[in-house]
Amino acid sequence: MSVAASSEPMPGEASRFQRRSLRVVVLAGGRSAEHDVSLASARSIREGLAAAGHEVLEVTISREGTWLHEGEALALEPGRGLLGADVAFPALHGPFGEDGVVQGVLEALDLPYVGATVAASALCMDKVLFKDLMIAGGIPQVAYRGVHLARFAAAPEEVLGELSALALPVFVKPARMGSSLGIAKVSEPEGLAGALEGAFAHDRLVIVEAMATGMEIECALLGDPEQPLVSEPGQIVLDGEWYDFAAKYTPGGMRLVIPAPISDGAAERVRALARDVYARVGCEGLARVDFFVDGEEVLVNELNTMPGFTPTSVYAKLIAHAGIDYSELVDRLCRLALERHSLAPGAASGRA
């Protein structure tokens, strides 16, 4: 089933936000290992916003966490906004950017911002917490276990015994990192302890997941949680064995096939689950939901609240296939942010 796009306002977009030019501050960089990826996303976002007719301001967050504009450190004042901007676009990936930390700062500044709010950002960054919530909602997913560093250090044999319930091979991952950093595939029991220690170098919480069969499928969403646009599913075709950091960011490491070569029934199941998960975690603005599809079986893997955002990134390609080009996409996201802020209890009436 194809997804048609329209030039009409999306659900939740008020007409008073539609055509006026905006002053948009784009946040780039950040403290995570995805600093350089963020810089690339932000560069594309700035170009897209400029093409849509908006005034764009650049704020770079250093690897140490300093907020910089035109080379000067910024003083952030709660309730006073940022550089007179109408809205912020946090083009930040991973910890200290996509996990609710910066979203909390923007809430304190009383500045509308693109994307998920504090709670949804934090929830979706924590793979264990996210999967626990999916279990509560009866959402199909791969078997997994969460492991805390302190418990593994105190009782390693007990933890390894519990993990033996997951049939090998398994994937060991830091629970609160992005871009597939620190992942190891374990095919033999003697490799599990070392893989855990490697993942603990990135995070004190690690997730161990059973290996899923089938295709890696991704689906993009745009809009409010009640009635988002849901893209056609796309298939990730890998050059290597799994979707690691190199596959995501090395040219030729992966390619995207749209529409995914799956049955109509599986495609509809992907889109329905994407919509369900998006609403269940309270996402707003945008997200990409990742799946494993094997025949008619569809398993949810994870939800990314701020996926890579260049015009050639998976999210932008999926939305473009729905008929929304890049400059219109970033424009719509800013309008959605303004609308959400205007409806929030106690919103400052003069800012939007």
CA–CA distance, 121 with 141 (Å, rounded to integer): 20
| Contact present, 200 and 194 (Cβ < 8 Å) | no
Partners of 287 in beta bridges: 221
| Contact present, 51 and 44 (Cβ < 8 Å) | no
Cβ neighbours of 93 (radius 10 Å) = 25
Residue 269 CA to its chain's centroid (Å) = 21
CA–CA distance, 179 with 288 (Å, rounded to integer): 13
The residues carrying an active-site annotation are 34, 179, 249, 288, 290, 302, 304, 308
Residue with tokens 């729905």: 322
Reduced to 3 states (helix: H, G, I; strand: E, B; else coil), residue 51 is helix
HSE value, Cβ hemisphere, 13 Å, CA-based, for 155: 8
Reduced to 3 states (helix: H, G, I; strand: E, B; else coil), residue 216 is strand
| Contact present, 117 and 287 (Cβ < 8 Å) | no
Contacts (Cβ under 8 Å, ≥6 apart) of 7: none
Partners of 298 in beta bridges: 293
Cα 167–169–175 angle (5° rounding)? 95
Reduced to 3 states (helix: H, G, I; strand: E, B; else coil), residue 161 is helix
**DSSP category for residue 145:** E
